[in-house]
Chains A and B, each alone.
Chain A
């Protein structure tokens, strides 16, 4: 069966997780051959299955870019796709209004580390209970291969014809420094450690951040690695992790008061003080 036929078929079953968690009409998506997004989505579904979570327990949020386009509306349950870089403030507010829910944010490196960086840093500082999964393909692939803050120095892409002259952004380092309470970094080749990290991140009551390096044969492969072969990209990623140039594993774990809990404490404080001081206007 061709991909397009599969996409139109309602009875497509490629994986038992699909039946349980996905809107079968909307999968498979239109990712390029060799893209890592599907692999990472699979990790998340596995983590949910192992944690015994249903689609009613988790709200999925996204931004703009390859990541968001491919995962949006694939999940049963709530799919909130925000504007470029803005998934985190949207989720911050939703967490206050619906504190019993778990929130998973799918974002790309451009979406989070560039345009959404300010929100990311402050959500980590506030320790808002959400799991942010940054799928790092080291470039803006949705717009066909421009350099991102996560692009290694010297790399040739569509906007760095003479080689990237900007230093690379250590996003995990910033997540730790800003106050995130679970920070991990993996590659798509490390399935079990990544699933374990996603489970820990979802269970952590606070701001969890996982960076997952994934292949982009279509743009990063073609322009920077001079090969759009998916396996070549994966081998390059594997080598980065093996040599320690790209440090993987759980980088930081901590326990700290969570944002929505603190906000509810504020409400209790305000309501306790209400009788003593008296509000400006009494409302029911």
Chain B
């Protein structure tokens, strides 16, 4: 599952070929992964996901419901998933803030679902149709209260958006947790070649339910077990029926507010992800071992960074390239080499750069280039590389 995007692309050359948007790829990825419920709310630049899902889901026997707000959407997705459907919702920054409410409920109650956040400039409404990537941390610390780990994936092409959407649904089922697909305005809106392989070539992880009328522990607190069955509403699997509470819960799902239960529940939520982070880790790395500087980025920015790397190499500089595909859990192991890092991000204050500073052996060698509204020109990144070398 750690195969990088180019390897995956090589595997599937057959299939239907499209010249399409990232949002289209996300929709078709979701349908291919078995998504049959979407709660939507229009917001630029994720609106097309709602539009296309409203057409596609009924075709495959699924439901699209446009809710009164993002709060309604995220909770409806929780409900659909509790009732056994694979479900998703999609939004941009302003709606993502409203998702924080239901996201915590889904994390705590181990409800698999997929949230797409197509990032745009902020804060507040910012500039609606321009790129900005300010949700690196807010996708990790997606809600109040702490005591959890999150899974966040970030595509950098239309083709990868298709595969990562399927991965997001699969990881959600494997870990019984919400997964965020953190894309951005550029990937959502841009068009490029998309190959959709035959459905039988797509591996889907489906929900496992416990047997009917047999006592079952819905929340295996104190373990980090994954691929764990889930009680489904209305199917009376696992004895008495589902109990899902907003408060700290016991293994049976009963609300219990005490120290021991809180500790067991928190470590369950944290360790099920930490202990299996190799299943989540995805990245692209072009490093030969003699580089003087490594460019670090994710999402659409990585396309500028990769071109900048090629241009700098042509000019004789030894430049490497690391692109994060899975953002969280953060891949510290990619930054153990003691060299210079230049982190390029679509925010001015720098977010990813702080994590790289934390992971790198020498934080004085970690440099930053920030921008907003418009993607980097490769020449801007090359200029910054020269500046770093001049320092």
Q: Do A and B come from one complex?
A: yes
Residue among B56, B59, B101 facing the most chain A CB atoms (10 A cut-off): B59
Q: Write 5 A-B pairs (CB below 8 A) sorted by A numbering.
A: A90-B78, A94-B83, A96-B65, A119-B68, A267-B61
Closest to B27 in A: A280
Q: Which of A86, A100, A269 contacts B58 (CB 8 A)?
A: A269
A41 to B78, CA, bound (A): 26
Determine if A140 is an interface residue (Cβ-Cβ < 8 Å).
Answer: no
Chain B binder among A71-79, A145-153, A181-189, A201-209: A71-79
A121 to B245, CA, bound (A): 24
Question: Do the beta carbons of B102 and A86 come within 8 Å of each other?
Answer: yes
Query: Which positions in A face B, CB cutoff 8 Å?
Result: 23, 26, 55-56, 59, 64, 69, 72-73, 75-84, 86, 89-94, 96-98, 100-101, 118-119, 121-122, 263, 266-267, 269-271, 274, 279-281, 283-284
Question: Do the beta carbons of A93 and B240 come within 8 Å of each other?
Answer: no
Question: Do the beta carbons of B82 and A284 come within 8 Å of each other?
Answer: no
Determine if B350 is an interface residue (Cβ-Cβ < 8 Å).
Answer: no
Question: Do the beta carbons of A72 and B255 come within 8 Å of each other?
Answer: yes
Q: Assuming A97-B85, A98-B234, A274-B59, is B79 touching A80 (CB within 8 A)? A: yes
Q: Assuming A78-B241, A83-B102, A93-B77, is B65 touching A283 (CB within 8 A)? A: no
Listed from nearest, the 10 A-B pairs whose CB atoms lie closest are A270-B58, A90-B79, A93-B79, A97-B83, A93-B80, A93-B76, A98-B234, A77-B241, A86-B75, A89-B75
Question: Do the beta carbons of B59 and A79 come within 8 Å of each other?
Answer: no
Q: Which of A56, A84, A122 contacts B68 (CB 8 A)?
A: A122
Q: Assuming A81-B255, A267-B61, is B80 touching A73 (CB within 8 A)? A: no
Q: Which of A83, A89, A91, A263 contacts B63 (CB 8 A)?
A: A263
Question: Do the beta carbons of A94 and B233 come within 8 Å of each other?
Answer: yes
Question: Do the beta carbons of A271 and B58 come within 8 Å of each other?
Answer: yes
A72 to B67, CA, bound (A): 26
Question: Do the beta carbons of B32 and A283 come within 8 Å of each other?
Answer: yes
Query: Which positions in B face A, CB cutoff 8 Å?
Result: 16, 24, 28, 31-32, 37, 39, 52, 55-56, 58-63, 65, 67-69, 71-73, 75-80, 82-85, 87, 101-102, 104-105, 196, 199-200, 233-234, 236, 240-246, 253-255
B200 → chain A, closest Cβ, in Å? 8
Question: Do the beta carbons of B72 and A59 come within 8 Å of each other?
Answer: no
Give chain A residues whose Cβ lies under 8 Å from the Cβ of B234: 59, 78, 94, 98, 100-101
Give chain A residues whose Cβ lies under 8 Å from the Cβ of B244: 79-81
Q: Which of B78, B200, B236 contacts A56 (CB 8 A)?
A: B236
Q: Which of A73, A92, A270 contacts B255 (CB 8 A)?
A: A73
A119 to B58, CA, bound (A): 23
Question: Do the beta carbons of A280 and B56 come within 8 Å of each other?
Answer: yes
B205 → chain A, closest Cβ, in Å? 17
Closest to A96 in B: B63
A94 to B376, CA, bound (A): 44
Question: Do the beta carbons of B253 and A73 come within 8 Å of each other?
Answer: yes
Residue among A76, A89, A98, A284 facing the most chain B CB atoms (10 A cut-off): A89
Q: Assuming A81-B244, A81-B245, A274-B59, is B76 touching A98 (CB within 8 A)? A: no
Give chain A residues whose Cβ lies under 8 Å from the Cβ of B105: 82-83, 86
A60 to B78, CA, bound (A): 15
A34 to B32, CA, bound (A): 55
Q: Which of A77, A86, A97, A267 contacts B84 (CB 8 A)?
A: A97
Give chain B residues whose Cβ lies under 8 Å from the Cβ of A101: 233-234
Q: Assuming A86-B101, A90-B75, is B37 touching A96 (CB within 8 A)? A: yes
Q: Which of A73, A90, A270, A284 contacts B243 (CB 8 A)?
A: A73
Give chain A residues whose Cβ lies under 8 Å from the Cβ of B80: 93-94, 96-97
Give chain B residues whose Cβ lies under 8 Å from the Cβ of A84: 246
